[in-house]
Amino acid sequence: MIPRIRIACVHATPLAIGPVAEAFKRWAPDWECKNVVEERLVALQGEGDAALALFLDVLRRAEAGAPAVILTTCSMYTRRLPEVRPLIGKSVVGIDEPMIEKAAEAGGPIALVGSIEEAVNGTARLIRERAKARGRSVDLSRRLLVDPKICTQPAGVRELEEKIRPLIQVCHAVVVVQASLSVVEDFFTGAEKEKILTSPRLAVARLKEILEGYPS
């Protein structure tokens, strides 16, 4: 019997667990998810040596569970991944990395929607860097900052959908920075939904590429 593929998911907030679990249920139901939550990561906001040391410690805790891949869901730490990857024996994927790449590819006016200002700013920096490397220009001036718990109730998700809809009309893409807000994409269809970039769905696709043929 082939064992289930185990993915270790490193979270800075429990709010990210549900959307990632739902993404696995939809697009990779045979995967097993092991969640590692460290809320101190939020307080440190990815800045400085203390944040890096804590991030590395959490990744090593996740690695101890012998996962096939480690998925990190805190967007404030995506920029620190190049520093920690050489120190971890497993592949480490930032949940928003495929989303950032897709936004950079879209170019032009791009809106960012998030619940943590530093995370929104950090994602904007990464999109700008990726776009420059591709020779693309981006306008990241449109930002929408919302309550972190807005998507914990159906009424909040609907409110977020109403806030995002005008942005779709004037932007090439709308980047939903936090995984905890990604459920909002279900309110859109067709061409509008294509413009909504959320991290869980795109990350699952990236993990499938990495895990092709696993286990050998």
**Burial annotation 63-93 (CB, 10 A radius, 16+ → b, else e):** beeebbbbbbbbbbbbebbeebeeeeebebb
Q: How far apart are CA 120 and CA 177, in angstroms?
A: 6
Written as six digits, the tokens of 37 are 């939550």
Which strand (E) or helix (H) includes residue 35? strand 32-37
Confidence of residue 86 (pLDDT cuts 50, 70, 90): very high
Average pLDDT (117-140) is 95
For the stretch 17-21, contacts whose Cβ atoms lie closer than 8 Å and that sit 24 or more positions apart, written own/partner, are 18/180, 19/179, 19/180, 19/181, 19/182, 19/183, 19/200, 20/71, 20/73, 20/95, 20/179, 20/200
pLDDT digits (tens, 9 = 90+) for 103-123: 999 999 999 999 999 999 999
Residue-level pLDDT at 45: 86
Confidence of residue 2 (pLDDT cuts 50, 70, 90): low
Owner of token pair 């092991």: 34
Confidence of residue 212 (pLDDT cuts 50, 70, 90): confident
| pTM exceeding 0.85 | yes
Residue-level pLDDT at 24: 95
Average pLDDT (178-184) is 92
pLDDT digits (tens, 9 = 90+) for 44-69: 988 899 999 999 999 999 999 999 99
199 has a pLDDT exceeding 50: yes
77 has a pLDDT exceeding 90: yes
Average pLDDT (72-94) is 95
85 has a pLDDT exceeding 70: yes
Residue-level pLDDT at 1: 47
Residue-level pLDDT at 26: 93
φ/ψ region of 215 (left if φ > 0, alpha if ψ in -120 to 50, else beta) reads beta
Q: How far apart are CA 194 and CA 66, in angstroms?
A: 35
Confidence of residue 4 (pLDDT cuts 50, 70, 90): confident
Average pLDDT (128-157) is 95
